[in-house]
């Protein structure tokens, strides 16, 4: 079960500097990034709080990164 979080968009007039690391260069080329929180069933039903986990996706919904607290 995933909860969709607000998306972030890079303004069209932002110029990214040359020589970015590969990970940042990929992010700089994206028009939007979607962050989906991964919810565990036990956490939802019992209210047991754990560190949150997230899938980071591009505008087509393709996961390119995983993040956790």
Closest by Cα among 16, 12, 11 to 26: 16
What are the tens digits of pLDDT across the range 1-14? 455 555 555 455 55
Q: For residues 3 and 36, which has the higher predicted lDDT (pLDDT)? A: 36
Residue among 27, 3, 8 nearest 16 (CA): 27
Average of per-residue pLDDT across 26-53: 87
Q: Which of residues 66 and 9 earns the better pLDDT score?
A: 66
Quote the pLDDT of residue 13: 57
Q: Are 68 and 53 in contact (CB under 8 A)?
A: yes
């Amino acid at each position: 079960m995933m909860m969709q979080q607000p998306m972030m968009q890079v303004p069209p007039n932002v110029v990214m500097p040359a020589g970015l690391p590969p990970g940042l260069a990929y992010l700089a080329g994206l028009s939007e990034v979607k962050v989906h929180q991964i919810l565990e069933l036990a956490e939802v039903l019992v209210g047991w709080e754990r560190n949150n986990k997230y899938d980071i996706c591009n505008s087509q919904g393709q996961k390119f990164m995983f993040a956790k607290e």
